[in-house]
Amino acid sequence: MIKKNSLLIRILSSFVMLIIFFVVVNSNNFVFLIFSQLLLFLTSWEILRMLEFKRFINKKVDSSNFLLSKFQVNKYDLILICLINFFVFLLNFPLLGLQIFCFILIFVCLLNLLDISVVKMICLLYVTFAFIFLNEMSQSSEFTSFIFFIVFFPMVVDISAYFFGSVIGGPKIMPNISPNKTVAGFIGGIIVPIFFCTIIFFKNSNISNIIFLSFIFAIVSQFGDLIESGFKRYCFVKDSSNLIPGHGGLLDRLDSIFALIIFVSIIKLLDYNFFFIV
């Protein structure tokens, strides 16, 4: 039986996030830049606090996040994410000297982090590159279309996967990584987005291109969700933080979006005309 309250919260939070993004995107570039910097800082902070939690907690998932809220990021890690934020901010301006100087500071900071780990660096690089690509997109004349699609599409995937997985149930797709995700939810998270995109974008592109790209994007979106789920299991937490009361953290909301931003940006760099609405 589907949990109606959980589904309703999921839908409402998704649309609130969509509205916030729409308002920020349609403001001036500086407002969007500051907003993206805030998101970068908070998502990096969530990653580091989960890793801090893992260092001390017993190997048991904290389902309430109550204990997670007690763990704070150490001063070196705070300096690190502030420097990363500053570096990403500077990339938006023709300030090569300051960018190099900031990069050197980040490197020196890393040398002083005695507990630096491969996992920490991979996770921080993952979210950092997502925001670097996002800021690069913001310079495009098609940015509004890009960001609307990249935010809206994962929402459709997430809601449809949650709905089909809750209603149909059945075998789990990767129980060791994400125990609640089912094969039915995975398939539903592919079929429904394809259906939506076919209806919305049919007049602007051929149907085979829409189906193919929607399929790829749905896979990437769900893969991004699984990446974050695997990281949470690694850290023994249920949610990335308690920033959003009763619903988890920013990483829980942005995981699929990050994966899609990186994937879309890479294939765009390869000069592939992925965006079938233009």
Instruction: Give tens-digit pLDDT for 166-181.
Output: 777 777 777 777 777 7
Q: What is the pLDDT of residue 43?
A: 92
Residue 153 tokens read as: 């599409």
What would the pLDDT profile of 24-53 be if each residue is shown by its tens digit?
A: 777 777 888 888 899 999 999 999 888 888
Please give the mean pLDDT across all residues of the chain: 77
- Cα–Cα distance, 194 to 192 (Å, whole number): 5
Flag whether pLDDT at 2 surpasses 50: no
Pull the structure tokens for residue 271: 């000069």
Q: What are phi and psi of 136, to 5 degrees?
A: -65, -40
Q: Is the pLDDT of residue 274 over 80?
A: no
CA distances from 87 to 93, 159, 202 (A): 10, 35, 41
Per-residue CA distances from 92 to 36, 56, 57 (Å)? 12, 38, 39
Task: Please check whether residue 150 is in contact with residue 224, taking contact to mean a CB–CB distance below 8 angstroms.
Answer: no
Is the model more confident about 15 or about 59?
Answer: 15
pLDDT tier, 58 (very low <50, low <70, confident <90, very high otherwise): low
DSSP category for residue 272: -
> Residue 185 is encoded by which pair of tokens?
């939810």
What does the pLDDT look like over 107-130, one tens digit per residue? Answer: 666 656 555 677 888 888 899 989
Backbone angles phi, psi at 67, to 5 degrees: -70, -35
* Higher-pLDDT residue of 104, 184: 184
Does 153 or 93 have the greater pLDDT score? Answer: 153
**Structural contact between residues 232 and 50, judged by C-beta atoms closer than 8 angstroms:** yes
SS3 state of residue 174: strand
